[in-house]
Structure formats: structure tokens, C-alpha cells
């Protein structure tokens, strides 16, 4: 049995562990450690005793050296921005502004929720936090206006997924770390696809509300003066977004420094609005919890990634992909279909960090390699552009698992915040947005310029 056969068996074992309930961090660390022992003991001919010692050394060194990377400082600052914005009341101001400007259309409060979550996503790097926040703000308002409870819950669960694309996005940073891509380009690339996704969500809501008048009645009666008076409340969020964009674009600082500056600005605004010590403590604790969870997953998967590197499974898979006679686009669609299936059993971050070490080299091979020019590539993009484009596509695919059963973390979060709405009802309400996400992915594949235009203009 060669290394590839062992890697396949260990990969199957990993999937079984995850599907049966073991945490992704611990499952990947366990399988990675076992794989390292096998590689060094058998493939490297070191024997079992030295193989175990070598694996122990790697298990102690690799996670710390990678997790201590400067770029990972983005994750806690982005998450902190979101929680501080919530406690400062910025989310309520966003929703009120969106309601007065867009509430008059069919399903207006649903459309308002989508645009408000998109705005909040611009200061929050966590989809789960976004869904939890708007489950407290938007659902009560929609129910008061006679909205169907399944529809209301589904809108919030789906709207929360926009935080995965619209920067600052923690999951885009994780993608950049695993694939060694440009964090700045990925953050810039997420804006337009995030807006496109929000527009498609809004179109779906309006269409559904027109077909069923009782689903989401419009809310009107606001004068232009009442609409404009809500805009000052959104200025802090717009300022944070502007700082992050122009700090990266203007070369004033790294993305990590831009995130820290944004967090400082939101903290100052929060304190000026009367944030209490208890609220500040709550924001810090929630940030720490989510950060520790993400870092633990990264630690575990890095061990697995190091094993895959020694086993050369990504290289073998990429070489096999490049020999297929079918078109690169068909192969890409097959990879994306695999993400749809995996998303039913795994959370978004876990799925990406588990699969990217294999799928990323394969997609790069489809395009012609990491250093290919746009003129010579199979997908019409340079190697660097392909890495950014695939990052946005695969993160959008990861959003699907946030609203699809049985995992559907956003749906469970909404049901947890609203005990009067069952998880089953939330899943039913969110199911139409699966179609909207498929349409978004199709648009981004057909028109890669939507992803690449902003990085080309701002970052060259």
C-alpha cells in the first residue's frame, strides 16, 4: 500500500470522525498526527519509534509557528468590530435606515434586513454573530408587521451569510493563510460579489412577496425627511469601511493594522454612546470565544496539512486533475458540487480548512499553474487572479452550508435566539436562498470580472 492509498484511507477516516460528531479541530489533528507517524515510520524508513518522535516534534512546532503569524491578528480585530458595533447600537441604526428606505417594496422588511446585514457585515467578520444580532432586531419587527415567521427567520439566517464575503471577513483571511494568497486582494475582491449576492437575495424576496401577498407586506409612510434623518446613524460603519479600504489601498498600513484601527474607532464610538463596562466585557468575551474556536481549528488543520505535504497528496491530485480530458470548467463544477455535499455535514470554516489543501492545488493546475499568465491560462486568469477568484467562489459555496441541513449553523443560531421558531421552520424559510446562492455562484463563474475588477483597480 503506497502513500496515496494510505492518504485516501485516512481521509475517509477523517470524514467519518467529523460526520459522527468529533470536532473538526480534534479530528484533523488526530488524523494528521497518525499520518505523520505512518509517513516517517514507513515511507521515510525511520521506524516506528523515530517516526512517533518526529511527529511529536512537528505537532509541537508547526501550529505555534503558523498561528503566531502577524496576519492572523486580523481575525480577532474583525470579530471585535462586529460585537462592539452591536453593543453600540449601530445595528439598530442600520436596520432603521434600511427599513425607511426600502420598506415600501413587497417584502420590504425582508429586503431591509438583507441590506442591513450587508452593512453590518462590513464591520463584522462572523456570519454567526450577524445572524444572532439580527434575529434579535429584525425578526420581532417583521412579526409585528404580519410577516410569515418562517420567511422572517429564513431571511435573517440567509442574510447573515453575507458576512463571509463582505470584508472584513474572517473566513477570507483563513483562506488566504491556507493558500498563501494575498489577504489585501481577497478582502477587496469580496465587496462586489457580496453586493451582487445581496441584490439577488433582495430580488428573490420581492418576487416571493409578490407571489404571496401575505408573506411579507410592504411597510410605507415615511417621508423623505424621515429617511434622511437615519443616515447619520450609519456614518460610523461607513467610516470603518472607508478606513479599512483606504488603509490597504493607500498603503498606510497592512490589513492587520487596518483592522486594529477600525476596532479602535468603533470602540471610541461605542464608549461615546454610553457603552457600559458589562457590555464591553460581553463584547470582549464573545470575541475571545469565537477567536479561540477559529484558532483551535486552524491549529488542528495545520497538522493535517503538514501531513498532506509530506505525503504529497495535493500534488498527486493536482497532477491527476491536469490529465483529465474534459474541459476545466466541467472539472471545476464537479469540485463545487462536492462542496455542496460536504456542506450538509460540516461547518463552513471546517470544510474549507479541511479541503483547500487538496482542491486549491487542483484548481490552480486546471488554470495552468500558480505562475501562468492570463493569456496562457485555461480559465482566462493569471495564477494570482485565479487564487483570488477561486477564494471568493469557494467561500460563497461555504455559505451554503450555513443554511442547509443538518448542520446549518446560522439556522440553529436563529432558532436559539428565537425559541418560538423551531430550527425546522428556519431551515424551511432559508431553503429558497439556496437557489439564490447557486445563481450567485453561476454569475461569478460566468463573469469573473465581478470578482477581479476591484483588486485590479485598487491594488493593481
Is the omega angle on the peptide bond into residue 10 within 30 degrees of 0, that is, cis?
no
For residue 211, give the C-alpha cell: 407571489
pTM score, whole prediction: 0.81
**In whole angstroms, what is the distance from residue 57 CA to residue 76 CA?**
28
Place of cell 498526527: 33
Number of domains in the chain: 1
Computed from CA positions of residues 138, 142, 148, 149, in that sequence, does the dihedral angle turn out positive or negative?
positive
Q: Is residue 48 part of a domain?
A: no
- Predicted pLDDT of residue 314: 64
Q: Is residue 226 part of a domain?
A: yes
Residues 120 and 163: beta-carbon distance below 8 Å: yes
Q: Is residue 270 part of a domain?
A: yes
Q: Is residue 267 part of a domain?
A: yes
Task: Give me the helix-helix angle, 127-144 and 277-311, nearest 10°.
Answer: 130
Q: Is residue 451 part of a domain?
A: no
- Predicted pLDDT of residue 276: 86
Note down the domain range covering 85: 71-291
Per-residue pLDDT 10s for the chain (460 aa) are: 566 677 778 878 887 887 777 777 788 888 888 888 888 887 666 777 787 888 888 888 776 776 666 667 777 887 788 788 877 777 888 888 998 999 889 999 999 999 998 888 877 767 877 888 888 889 998 998 889 999 999 999 999 888 888 877 778 888 888 888 888 888 889 989 999 999 999 999 999 999 888 788 888 778 888 899 988 888 887 887 777 777 766 667 777 787 788 888 888 888 888 888 888 888 888 888 877 877 777 777 778 777 877 777 666 666 676 676 778 888 888 888 888 877 776 667 777 877 888 889 888 888 877 778 777 777 788 888 899 999 999 999 888 878 887 667 788 888 888 888 888 899 999 999 999 999 999 999 999 999 999 888 875 5
- Predicted pLDDT of residue 203: 94
Q: Is residue 423 part of a domain?
A: no
- Tell me the backbone φ, ψ of residue 344, rounded to 5 degrees: -80, -15
Q: Is residue 282 part of a domain?
A: yes
Place of cell 492509498: 5
Spacing of C-alpha 401 from chain mean position? 10
Task: Give me the helix-helix angle, 348-367 and 328-342, nearest 10°.
Answer: 170
Q: Is residue 354 part of a domain?
A: no
**In whole angstroms, what is the distance from residue 215 CA to residue 432 CA?**
13
- Predicted pLDDT of residue 423: 85
**In whole angstroms, what is the distance from residue 44 CA to residue 49 CA?**
13
Place of cell 411597510: 219
Task: Give me the helix-helix angle, 423-446 and 149-160, nearest 10°.
Answer: 50
- Predicted pLDDT of residue 204: 95
Amino acid at each position: 500500500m503506497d502513500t496515496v492509498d494510505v492518504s485516501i484511507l485516512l481521509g475517509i477516516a477523517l470524514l467519518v470522525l467529523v460526520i459522527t460528531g468529533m470536532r473538526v479541530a480534534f479530528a484533523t489533528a488526530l488524523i494528521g498526527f497518525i499520518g505523520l507517524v505512518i509517513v516517517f515510520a514507513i515511507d521515510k524508513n525511520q521506524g516506528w519509534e523515530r517516526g512517533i518522535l518526529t511527529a511529536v516534534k512537528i505537532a509541537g512546532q508547526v501550529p505555534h509557528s503558523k498561528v503566531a503569524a502577524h496576519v492572523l491578528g486580523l481575525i480577532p480585530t474583525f470579530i471585535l468590530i462586529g460585537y462592539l458595533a452591536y453593543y453600540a447600537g449601530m445595528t439598530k441604526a442600520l436596520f432603521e435606515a434600511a427599513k425607511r428606505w426600502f420598506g415600501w417594496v413587497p417584502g420590504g422588511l425582508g429586503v431591509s434586513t438583507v441590506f442591513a446585514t450587508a452593512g453590518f457585515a462590513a464591520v463584522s467578520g462572523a456570519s454567526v454573530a450577524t445572524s444572532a444580532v439580527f434575529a434579535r432586531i429584525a425578526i420581532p419587527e417583521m412579526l409585528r408587521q404580519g410577516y410569515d415567521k418562517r420567511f422572517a427567520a429564513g431571511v435573517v439566517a440567509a442574510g447573515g451569510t453575507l458576512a463571509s464575503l463582505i470584508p472584513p471577513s474572517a473566513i477570507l483571511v483563513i483562506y488566504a493563510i491556507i493558500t498563501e494568497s494575498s489577504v489585501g486582494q481577497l478582502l477587496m475582491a469580496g465587496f462586489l460579489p457580496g453586493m451582487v449576492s445581496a441584490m439577488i437575495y433582495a430580488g428573490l424576496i420581492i418576487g416571493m412577496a409578490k407571489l404571496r401577498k401575505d408573506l411579507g407586506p410592504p411597510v410605507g409612510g415615511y417621508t423623505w425627511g424621515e429617511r434622511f434623518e437615519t443616515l447619520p446613524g450609519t456614518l460610523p460603519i461607513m467610516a470603518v469601511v472607508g478606513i479599512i479600504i483606504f488603509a490597504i489601498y493607500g498603503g498606510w498600513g497592512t490589513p492587520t493594522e487596518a483592522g486594529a484601527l477600525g476596532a479602535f474607532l468603533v470602540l471610541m464610538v461605542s464608549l461615546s454612546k454610553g457603552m457600559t463596562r458589562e457590555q464591553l466585557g460581553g463584547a470582549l468575551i464573545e470575541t475571545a470565544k469565537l477567536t479561540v474556536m477559529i484558532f483551535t481549528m486552524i491549529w488542528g488543520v495545520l497538522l493535517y496539512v503538514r501531513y498532506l505535504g509530506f505525503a504529497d497528496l495535493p500534488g498527486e491530485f493536482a497532477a491527476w486533475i491536469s490529465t483529465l480530458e474534459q474541459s476545466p470548467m466541467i472539472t471545476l463544477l464537479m469540485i463545487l458540487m462536492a462542496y455542496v455535499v460536504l456542506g450538509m455535514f460540516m461547518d463552513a470554516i471546517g470544510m474549507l480548512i479541511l479541503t483547500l489543501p487538496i482542491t486549491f492545488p487542483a484548481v490552480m493546475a486546471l488554470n495552468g499553474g500558480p505562475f501562468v499568465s492570463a493569456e496562457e491560462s485555461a480559465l482566462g486568469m493569471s495564477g494570482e487572479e485565479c487564487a483570488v477568484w477561486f477564494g471568493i467562489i469557494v467561500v460563497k459555496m461555504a455559505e451554503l452550508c450555513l443554511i442547509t441541513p443538518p448542520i446549518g449553523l446560522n439556522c440553529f443560531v436563529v432558532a436559539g435566539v428565537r425559541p418560538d421558531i423551531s430550527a425546522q421552520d428556519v431551515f424551511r424559510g432559508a431553503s429558497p436562498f439556496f437557489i439564490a446562492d447557486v445563481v450567485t455562484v453561476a454569475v461569478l463563474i460566468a463573469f469573473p470580472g465581478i470578482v477581479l475588477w476591484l483588486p485590479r483597480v485598487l491594488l493593481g
